[in-house]
Structure 1
Amino acid sequence: MYYFKPLDPKDVSPRALVLSLMSSAFTAPQSISRLISAAALFDIEPATLRVAVTRLLKDGLLESPDRGVYKPGPKSKALTRRVQGWKDVASRIVPWNGDWLVALTGHLGRTDRKQLRLRERSLALSGYKETDAGFWVRPANLARGLEDHRADLIGIGADDGISLLRVSDRALPEGGRWESLWSTDELAHTYAEANDAMMKSLERLASLPCDQAARESLLIGQAVIRTINFDPLLPPELGNQDAFLRMVETMVHYNNVGRKCWQAYYTAMDGA
């Protein structure tokens, strides 16, 4: 779920595009004309884009502070803030003393499929993995206190009834090592893949037409940001934290270049 894979233009739906733009570094409200210009890069018709915006408004994921202008809605603000915080990810981790965070979810039920998806997404976004016993765990190397962290989980979709524990001692059956829930080799590989994709893209963006440059920067940038946001933020004892932070540093630079690509594209469209 958290491994890097560049987005395919054909997989960019109107809904996903709008939500991506709303959670990007462009934090100002977006006009419908800008959204339509962005949609044109992915062969999404204006009428189709407008339908997606209307449905997002109905679902509370967008709101309109003025006619034809949109920003994240009440049901997406917490998640949008979480996604936008990728650049500050280093501030969310602290040295690990060996403790673990345990999220208890068995009592919450699984019949509400929509809520189940929201719960599992919030846990995945926070680096948890599910154990064979049915509860979720992660290393306790997050900077937020337990109560604040629980509030964060709820804010991005977890149930109000979720329970969190901090565990310092464990007695597990054979083969139940929590450390093995993450593939550190695959994580290291994904950091290298993401860095390589960004570096190769940076070499060619300046020579591309502004529409192609804007499209490529979104396809690669959003994929890297997703990789960052779904990373489990493992401590150095369990993963290659330095390689992860180098990927984030590269993405900060790539994001700045990508913003310029989009500004150039919008300027060209406004003057057309």
Structure 2
Amino acid sequence: MPTTPRSLILSLLLGAEARGDGALGVRELLAACALFGLPENSVRVALARGVAAGLMATPRRGCYALGPQARPVADAVGGWRGLQASLVDWQGDWIAVHVGAAGRSDRPALRARERVFGLLGLAEFERGLHLRPDNLAGGAEALRLRLQALLPEGAPAGTVFGLRALAAGDAARAAALWDGAALDAGYRDTAARLAAWLDAAAALPPETAAREAFELGGDAIRRLVFDPLLPAPLVDADARARFVATVERFDAAGQAIWQRFLAAARTPRPTV
């Protein structure tokens, strides 16, 4: 769950974009943030600073949308819906990124690179050498372009290349970089938790349903966004496909709940 006004607002704006709303008004954002205990003053400060940083834009007075500086990450997060279509059959080859020349002294740049590498499913095989299975559409070239788009401007992406014919021992060591059993358990457990919530959601008060749908859906989508998208036999690809289908069903229900909540927030309260 987002814990700061800025991260929560950005998540709300991303959800609004996915619903086709495009922008949210101040009244809607204040009502949504109040669900999570965020005070109005903190929300207004976050909005002003977000606009100044380019993370948010004001397409019209009193309304906010995602800004240009938020676009690369927003696109990466929103891409979870096309996850299954991005996978291709794995032939046993790897994509490698060598960052030895990039250095490790610039701590902020190093942290940014590690976050992006995690987003792309890259794991460190040896110092300065990161690998992932070559099972994504577009191969090394597509991953190179995504690295360049996600890293801060001027940050070195390293050298991206295809890698094949690893020795049997090295291939086994590479496959062990990820905990496949933990990933499989996460697919099954999270799908079951989402399905159980959907079965009980109709009995929840609107505010509770909106908050819990946001929290549970956000956690599930983060799992997908940061999933390394490993091929079989490294993970149970069928369990992941079922998990994705459950998240899609949950997201559709959550979007409907939030549309109703925001519609109520837009309606002025009658004066007494």
Q: Which residue number in structure 2 is paired with residue 3 of structure 1?
A: none
1: CA distance, partners of 2:62 / 2:165: 56
User: TM-score, normalization: structure 2?
Assistant: 0.90
Alpha carbons 1:127, 1:232 under 8 Å: kept:
yes
Q: Does 1:23 align with 2:14?
A: yes
Q: Does 1:218 align with 2:214?
A: yes
Q: Is the alpha carbon distance of 1:134 and 1:58 closer, same or farther for their aligned partners in structure 2, counting shifts above 3 Å?
A: same
Specify the SS of the correspondent of 1:169: coil
Structure 1 position 171, deviation (Å) = 4.2
Specify the SS of the correspondent of 2:165: coil
2: CA distance, partners of 1:174 / 1:182: 14
* Structure 2, unpaired ranges of 5+: none
Aligned-partner residue type, residue 178 of structure 2? W
Structure number with higher helix proportion: 2
Deviations 1:212-271 (A, max 9, x none): 100000000000000001001111121111111111100111011101111121222233
User: TM-score, normalization: structure 1?
Assistant: 0.90
**Partner residue of 2:173 out of 172, 177, 184:** 177
Q: Which residue number in structure 2 is paired with residue 239 of structure 1?
A: 235
Aligned-partner residue type, residue 53 of structure 1? L
Structure 1 position 175, deviation (Å) = 9.9
User: Cα RMSD between the aligned structures?
Assistant: 1.9
Aligned-partner residue type, residue 26 of structure 1? R
Structure 1 position 66, deviation (Å) = 2.0
Structure 1 position 64, deviation (Å) = 1.9
Aligned-partner residue type, residue 9 of structure 2? V
Q: Which residue number in structure 1 is paired with residue 74 of structure 2?
A: 80
Q: After superposing the two structures, state which structure 1 stretch, 190-199 or 60-69, moved more.
A: 60-69
Q: Which residue number in structure 1 is paired with residue 99 of structure 2?
A: 105
1: CA distance, partners of 2:171 / 2:254: 45
Alpha carbons 2:147, 2:157 under 8 Å: kept:
no
Q: Which residue number in structure 1 is paired with residue 5 of structure 2?
A: 14
1: CA distance, partners of 2:50 / 2:174: 38
Deviations 1:182-205 (A, max 9, x none): 111100111112112101211221
Alpha carbons 1:121, 1:157 under 8 Å: kept:
no
Q: Which residue number in structure 1 is paired with residue 188 of structure 2?
A: 192
Q: Which residue number in structure 2 is paired with residue 227 of structure 1?
A: 223
Specify the SS of the correspondent of 1:98: coil
* Structure 1, unpaired ranges of 5+: 1-6
Structure 1 position 12, deviation (Å) = 2.7
Q: Which residue number in structure 2 is paired with residue 164 of structure 1?
A: 160
Deviations 1:35-55 (A, max 9, x none): 111101011111111111222
Alpha carbons 2:102, 2:156 under 8 Å: kept:
no
Alpha carbons 1:23, 1:81 under 8 Å: kept:
no
Q: Which residue number in structure 1 is paired with residue 124 of structure 2?
A: 130
2: CA distance, partners of 1:108 / 1:166: 19
Q: Is the alpha carbon distance of 1:174 and 1:250 closer, same or farther for their aligned partners in structure 2, counting shifts above 3 Å?
A: closer
1: CA distance, partners of 2:167 / 2:127: 13
Q: Aligned residues: percent identity?
A: 33
Alpha carbons 2:5, 2:43 under 8 Å: kept:
yes
2: CA distance, partners of 1:167 / 1:100: 5
